[in-house]
Amino acid sequence: MAVRAGTLDHVISAAQFDRPLLDALFARATALEGTRGHSLTGRIMATLFYEPSTRTRLSFESAMLRLDGSVLGTEAAHVFSSAMKGETLEDTIRMVCAYADVIVLRHDREGAAAQAAVVATVPVINAGDGPGEHPTQSLLDLFTIERELGRIGGLHVAICGDLRFGRTARSLARLLALYDGVRISFVAPDVVQVGPDIRALLDDRHVPYQLSPRLDDVIGSADVVYQTRVQKERFTDPAEFERARGAIRIDAATMQRLPATSVVMHPLPRVDEIDPEVDSDPRAAYFRQAANGVALRMALLELLLA
């Protein structure tokens, strides 16, 4: 499950990536942008999704097809796969390894991808494990920051919304910690503030960060505002969800306080945390961000398979 001399076995956590690997991935993704090739001819990717997805699954499939690979898979795997009959994740993974050369797995349980990797004989890519991590999203997020702003080091990144259950926010913070001079503001109400594991990691790496309940406090100096959806499906206490929902919103008035050279990002889907009136602002980078997922995932699949 580790980085091996410039290559990877499984992709489970953002913690597996270092700067040389990120630089290589982003350079390859830039070269692959808008192209089609044959580097994965004859290879098969299986997508096994136990939770809903639009962008992650389709951009992985698009990436594989653009490199002349093939795809197979199942959505709603809790009901459409033999999980419904009581099959364990391990047994499902053992079988899918016989059908495909790489498995892209999304699961509602934290740790599911790591559990799958233990029995897998082909690379497993974590496409989201409950509130755990979503490493490939954070790769495309970082790739987007570099493309939009020309650098990552030295930036002030405001990560907003649901930082307790939002796996993309958690993975992004891990990757940002690799860059010199990055400063992070975690903007969220207490009930969904970032957890002690991420804070400990930032402390270890001496990355300056602050917690704030209001975007207004930090927006004037933010280079990137990374907004996220409140993960309604992960709350067991409806009262806690009510305290989190709508706490941080971005609308045209918010954009007036954001510097002219900064960008707003979001892993999507959005619900009501970014007003659609923001979409026409050139600093709204979230649709460009989603599009970047294809080239980034092409580069990643090549790294794992070619």
Active site residues: 55-56, 85, 106, 134
Three-state secondary structure readout of 206-236: CCCEEEECCHHHCHHHCCEEECCCCCHHHCC
Contact 51, 107 (CB under 8 A): yes
> Residue 229 interacts with ligand NCD (CB under 6 A)?
yes
Residues between 53 and 92 that touch ligand NCD (CB under 6 A): 55-56
Among 10, 66, 107, 134, binds ligand NCD (CB under 6 A): 134
Residue 40 dihedral angles phi and psi, to the nearest 5°: -120, 25
Paired residues of 209 in beta bridges: 184
Q: How many residues bind ligand NCD (CB under 6 A)?
A: 10
> Residue 289 interacts with ligand NCD (CB under 6 A)?
no
CB of 42 to ligand NCD, least distance (A): 28
Burial category of 174 from C-beta neighbours within 10 Å (exposed 0-12, middle 13-18, buried 19 and up): buried
Radius of gyration of the chain (CA): 19
Name which of 100 and 169 has its Cβ closer to ligand NCD: 169
Name which of 43 and 134 has its Cβ closer to ligand NCD: 134
Look up tokens 């990560």; give the residue: 159
What one-character DSSP code corresponds to residue 278?
A: G
Give the H or E element holding residue 298: helix 286-305
Name which of 55 and 199 has its Cβ closer to ligand NCD: 55
Here's the x/- map for ligand NCD, 144-183, by CB under 6 A: it reads as -----------------------xx---------------
Helix (H, G, I), strand (E, B) or coil at 127: strand
What one-character DSSP code corresponds to residue 83?
A: G
Name which of 168 and 254 has its Cβ closer to ligand NCD: 168
In this structure, the number of other CB atoms found within 10 A of the CB of residue 182 comes to 24
Among 69, 128, 132, 189, binds ligand NCD (CB under 6 A): 128
Record the tokens describing residue 156, joined without a space: 């002030």
Name which of 189 and 267 has its Cβ closer to ligand NCD: 267
CB of 111 to ligand NCD, least distance (A): 15
Burial category of 256 from C-beta neighbours within 10 Å (exposed 0-12, middle 13-18, buried 19 and up): exposed
> Residue 126 interacts with ligand NCD (CB under 6 A)?
no
Here's the x/- map for ligand NCD, 262-281, by CB under 6 A: it reads as -----xx-------------
Separation between Cα atoms, residue 273 and residue 229, nearest integer Å: 7
Among 81, 126, 137, 254, binds ligand NCD (CB under 6 A): 137
Name which of 97 and 142 has its Cβ closer to ligand NCD: 142
Residues in touch with ligand NCD (CB under 6 A)? 55-56, 128, 134, 137, 167-168, 229, 267-268
